[in-house]
Structure 1
Amino acid sequence: MKITNRLHQIWIFIFLVASGFTLQAQEKFTISNHKILIEGTSNIHDWEMDVEKVNGFIEMKTENDEITISNMSLTIPVKSMKSGKGKMDSNTYEALKEKKNPNITFSFLETTKVEKTGNSTYKIDIKGKLTIAGNTQSVVIPIVIDTQKTNLTASYNLNMTDFGVDPPTAVFGTIKTGDAVSLNFNLNYTK
């Protein structure tokens, strides 16, 4: 009886120690620096907007040349998107229904593909929920993570109408924005 009880205690101890190592290996990183560029077209000229503010984190671990992502979140305040042209900015905020939906968000669901592409680089397809103007779509975004440079890059194309956004217009409708938009991310992360 004492031996069985002792074995039980040993197994519990091994389980707790192993769980502790697993939890320690998973690390949470905060987005510390960023360059996000939104690009689109119109019937007059191409346009772009810089994102001045972003909040986010990524939880991941790297072990034995493998990477595992367990969570990721990104929030972009709509009013942090700037083109350098006040009227274009206000038209964009109105089209994105900023008063009711002040943020664009991405929340992680799962990784669908992981490929090691270099000594410290990984190409990963991230599935998540992207919410724009109050409309949420499930998307898969290809990202590249460089664990040595603590850097994440991504480029993703979408149509505004897929999220219930009417492409902005100006000058009584004579200037019309194209439906397709390209989102380009360059994010640095730290512990």
Structure 2
Amino acid sequence: MYKLVLVCLLALFVNAKELTLVDGEINAHTEVFGDSTIDPKTEKIVAQVTKEDSLESINGNFEIEALSLISDNKDRDQHMYKVLNVVDSPKISFKINSVSKVEEGYKINGILNLNHVQRPISTDATINEVANLIKLSGNFSINLTDFNLEPPTMFFLTVRDQIDIKYSFNLKE
């Protein structure tokens, strides 16, 4: 029985095709109440993604170095890195657990790992397959406090707890 299970698992693994990240971008957005917005982004993404026979079979992991998040204000970026605790937790990752077809797109469920805290995330996504290219994009929001991070306050200004995240990836089979 053990050998049969092992053969079945190997057959599933062999059918999975590795997808290569051609390019991608992750954008974050929050606000300083009464002042301005903070909009860091990165294109430095490491992806380990596979797909079997359908888009719903996409599985894998996306990872960034927190220090790769850069906004238009380098001084503010230094404060952002402190808030994100980059010294103790330099990487941010998202592991896809499941992809399911919904009315006008897809629902991706996974685990976001930030500041050594793992939280389930559900995101609405658009996934299109053209030739050998898979275009995957979507968005979701998190609260810093859910990851044991405190939104900073400076004088009378407070940064919003909610961070809106938008992502776009081009993956090639």
What is the TM-score when the length of structure 1 is the normalising length? 0.76
Q: Given the alignment, which residue of 32, 37, 49 partners 2:27?
A: 37
CA distance in 2, matches of 1:182, 1:108: 18
CA distance in 1, matches of 2:41, 2:137: 15
CA distance in 2, matches of 1:116, 1:39: 27
Q: Given the alignment, which residue of 143, 161, 165 partners 1:159?
A: 143
Aligned equivalent of 1:147: 129
Task: Look up the equivalent residue of 2:160 and give its one-letter code.
Answer: G
CA distance in 2, matches of 1:131, 1:27: 25
Runs (4+) off by over 4 Å:
22-25
What is the TM-score when the length of structure 2 is the normalising length? 0.83
- Report the Cα offset of residue 23 of structure 1: 5.3
CA distance in 2, matches of 1:188, 1:143: 13
> Rg larger in 1 or in 2?
1
Aligned equivalent of 2:86: 98
Do 2:56 and 2:98's aligned partners in 1 also have CA atoms closer than 8 Å?
A: no
1:90-129 equivalences in 2 (<5 Å) = 90-111=78-99, 113-115=100-102, 117=104, 123-129=105-111
SS of corresponding position for 2:56: strand
Q: Percent identity?
A: 17
CA distance in 2, matches of 1:81, 1:133: 15
Q: Which runs of 5+ in 2 are unaligned?
A: none
Q: Does 1:137 align with 2:135?
A: no
Task: Look up the equivalent residue of 2:28 and give its one-letter code.
Answer: I
CA distance in 2, matches of 1:184, 1:49: 11
- Report the Cα offset of residue 190 of structure 1: 1.8
Do 2:96 and 2:108's aligned partners in 1 also have CA atoms closer than 8 Å?
A: yes
CA distance in 1, matches of 2:122, 2:75: 32
Cα RMSD for the two superposed structures: 2.2
Q: How many residues align?
A: 163
